[in-house]
Amino acid sequence: MGKTKTAFVGEVEEKKLSGEEKYKERQKKKESVQKEEKVHVAGLKGGQRIKVVEAETLPTEVVEESTEAGEKKKVIKKKIRGKNYLQVKSKIDRNKFYSVNDALKLVKETSYSKFNGTFEMHIVVKKVGLSENVTLPHFEGKAKRVEVADDKTIEKLKKGKIDFDVLLATPDMMPKLVPFAKILGPKGLMPNPKNGTIIKGNKDVEKFSGNSLTIKTEKDAPVIHTVVGKVSQPEKELEENIESVLNAVNKKQIVKAYLKSTMSPSVKLSV
């Protein structure tokens, strides 16, 4: 107990940014000047926003323009999609709900990145607060560090050092972790019974292997964003990963579900 366990899952983290990581960094900068589209979902209060990646929706940008009188008014401008995006978008029927198998083939066909993109799922559910730990049978990702909390962990936290991706704890260790809740909580690292990170013993550690991940809704919206594999993976493997996520969430709780790659339009899933 107390030692950091590293589970390697196919890829090893590189010091240099990959093509996909560079693309995501550019996207983050663009999103910082964009307003999120308002989408109404049952159970939300008026005005609450949810990020949903529908194939037919273009992102918008809010720009302040000055009038002759010197007053500023906000003008919403639609972002113009690139030529590659528009070419592949025409292959998707935005009104159709695709089976998992058909959606996988379509996303692979319409993914136009030069790097090995990531398959993403974006799911709207009926309520906020849903959190589940799911094991993907064929996950390809970076090294995942799992640590079981002990006194050495407490000493590291006192110094502000966090060198793990998942923190597990036995019930007797929880009082010692409470003072660090403000540090661990925002990072999703505070052990809690909802995602199964409070364990009885070492046997429970095996559930948190390198191919497991926690899927949960956003803090204030019933939306889940998760990854299910790489574009280069066989369709059969990706299909099994997707089914694992859908079963963990519970299909009866799903309002809408979308599948896409890092650089492709999204496809509506029939669930």
Structural contact between residues 104 and 269, judged by C-beta atoms closer than 8 angstroms: no
Contact present, 227 and 241 (Cβ < 8 Å): no
Q: Residue 146 maps to which CATH number? A: 3.30.190.20
Query: Within 13 Å and on the Cβ side, how many CA atoms surround 24?
Result: 10
Q: Residue 125 falls within a domain, yes or no?
A: yes
Q: How many domains does one find in the chain? A: 1
Q: What is the pLDDT of residues 74-131, one digit of tens each?
A: 666 666 778 888 788 889 998 999 999 999 999 999 999 899 999 999 999 999 988 8
Range of the domain at 260: 4-23+39-268
30 found inside a domain: no
**Residues 45-62: pLDDT tens digits?**
544 444 454 444 444 555
* Torsion-angle region of 131 (φ positive above 0: left; ψ -120 to 50: alpha; else: beta): beta
Instruction: Identify the pLDDT of residue 11.
Output: 43
Please report whether residue 232 resides in a domain.
Answer: yes
Nearest-angstrom CA–CA distance, 150 and 167: 10
Asked if residue 15 is part of any domain, the answer here is yes
What's the whole-model pTM score?
Answer: 0.60
In a domain, 17, yes or no: yes
